[in-house]
């Protein structure tokens, strides 16, 4: 298993996009990573379609140093996630420590609020491209974009490319 020994946090909040949380979670496990669901607080969060995801830990209970990567799913969850200072600190610290930070769809909002986009090439759902640009990103419309250890993607159809890029980045260190 290529990612054996790597620990990855997947963030959860209500109204997450089902596939954008579940697909990376399962794909990274399949590649050998230990995946941990992290919410603002421990508990069960519901997807846009009512599918439950149980966060074992809350953002205040963890540190970026415990993880090789942070994955932020889209849906409407990012608009909720970015309201929690502990979530933003986790994402910013992971970025500043050179960890993989991966965000898909509306998850760009978390990157914006964490202050990690200035000078980065990134993508997102086109609905937030102006927000991304206003935060200092060079926004492009591609299925997956990698700028250093920051990986961004647009929508559920892009999940295969998104997960391949996360795995490739994690295999490098």
Which sequence positions are flagged as catalytic?
106
Strands 52-55 and 7-11: unpaired
- 8 Å CB contact between 30 and 118: no
Q: Tell me the sheet residues that pair with 9.
A: 36, 70
∠ CA 92-27-111 to the nearest 5 degrees?
20
Dihedral through CA 161, CA 165, CA 166, CA 172, nearest 10?
160
């Amino acid at each position: 298993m290529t990612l054996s020994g790597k620990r990855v946090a997947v963030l959860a909040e209500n109204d997450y996009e089902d596939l954008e949380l579940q697909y990376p979670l399962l794909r990274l496990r399949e590649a050998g990573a230990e995946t941990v669901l992290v919410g603002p607080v421990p508990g069960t969060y519901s997807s846009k379609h009512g599918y439950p995801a149980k966060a074992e830990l809350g953002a205040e209970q963890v540190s970026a140093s415990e993880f090789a990567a942070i994955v932020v799913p889209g849906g409407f969850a990012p608009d909720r996630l970015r309201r929690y200072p502990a979530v933003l600190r986790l994402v910013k610290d992971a970025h500043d420590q050179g960890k993989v930070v991966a965000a898909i769809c509306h998850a760009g909002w978390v990157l914006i609020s964490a202050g990690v986009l200035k000078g980065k090439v990134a993508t997102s759902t086109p609905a937030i491209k102006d927000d991304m640009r206003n935060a200092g990103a060079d926004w492009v419309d591609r299925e997956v974009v990698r700028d250093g250890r920051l990986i961004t993607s647009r929508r559920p159809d892009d999940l295969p490319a998104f997960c391949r890029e996360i795995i490739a980045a994690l295999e490098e260190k």
